């Protein structure tokens, strides 16, 4: 408890009852209270109210700062996870680049083999034509015979 609060409780419970004095009857004056003690109590109440208001403001400020801190922690955690994911993706990209290079190399080799086979096929066809001019006619006849069975 704060000192101001303790004083407030003291004066509110014990008040200034003991300081009341009676003015003689027949007078227009009413019961009066020792003004000094009452003024101190009022001052203490005002001071207490200000202190409580300041405490509430500080508590609100602390709550806001805690919320901001939690939000920043969440943001940092999110950024860390993004950084980790970015590193994983970098490694995956490097692996994929290597795979693309390997596939490109294999494709070039395949194209070279296909081209070599085409050249060899063309050479063999030319060689057959030179050796046997009737071979093309025989090949066409065989194709005509086989075509209905292929359909």
Q: What is the pLDDT of residues 61-94, one digit of tens each?
A: 999 999 999 999 999 999 999 999 999 999 999 9
Q: For every residue of the chain, which 3-state class applies, written as one string?
A: CCHHHHHHHHHHHHCCHHHCECCCCCCCCCCECCHHHHHHHHHHHHHHHHHHHHHHHHHHHHHHHHHHHHHHHHHHHHHHHHHHHHHHHHHHHHHHHHHHHHHHHHHHHHHHHHHHHHHHHHHHHHHHHHHCCCHHHHHHHHHHHHHHHHC
pLDDT the model gives residue 28? 44
Q: Please compute the mean of the pLDDT values over residues 55-64 and round it to a whole number.
A: 96
Confidence of residue 130 (pLDDT cuts 50, 70, 90): confident
Q: What is the distance in angstroms between the CA of the first residue and the CA of the last residue of the chain?
A: 103
Whole-model pTM: value is 0.43
Confidence of residue 146 (pLDDT cuts 50, 70, 90): low
Q: Which residue has the higher pLDDT, 55 or 124?
A: 55
pLDDT the model gives residue 30? 46
Q: Please compute the mean of the pLDDT values over residues 94-113 and round it to a whole number.
A: 96
Contacts from 77-81 at CB under 8 Å and sequence distance 24+? none
Q: 98: Cβ–Cβ under 8 A, 6 or more apart, which residues? A: none
Residue 143 has pLDDT above 60, yes or no: yes
pLDDT the model gives residue 11? 73
pLDDT the model gives residue 133? 63
Residue 5 has pLDDT above 50, yes or no: yes
Q: Report how far apart, in Å, the C-alpha atoms of 49 and of each of 7, 37, 43 are.
A: 12, 18, 10
Q: What is the pLDDT of residues 7-55, one digit of tens each?
A: 777 777 765 544 444 445 544 444 454 588 888 889 999 999 999 999 9
Report the distance separating Cα 69 and Cα 76, nearest Å.
10
């Amino acid at each position: 408890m704060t000192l101001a609060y303790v004083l407030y409780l003291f004066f509110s419970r014990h008040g200034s009852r003991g300081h009341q004095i009676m003015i003689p009857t027949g007078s227009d004056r009413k019961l009066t209270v020792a003004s000094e003690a009452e003024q101190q109590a009022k001052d203490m109440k005002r001071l207490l109210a200000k202190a409580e208001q300041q405490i509430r403001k500080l508590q609100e400020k602390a709550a806001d700062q805690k919320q901001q801190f939690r939000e920043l922690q969440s943001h940092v955690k999110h950024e860390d996870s993004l950084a980790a994911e970015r590193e994983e993706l970098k490694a995956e990209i490097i692996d994929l680049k290597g795979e693309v290079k390997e596939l490109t190399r294999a494709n070039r080799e395949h194209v070279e083999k296909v081209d070599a086979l085409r050249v060899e096929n063309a050479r063999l066809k030319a060689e057959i034509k030179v050796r046997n001019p009737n071979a093309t006619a025989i090949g066409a006849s065989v194709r005509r015979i086989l075509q209905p069975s292929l359909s």
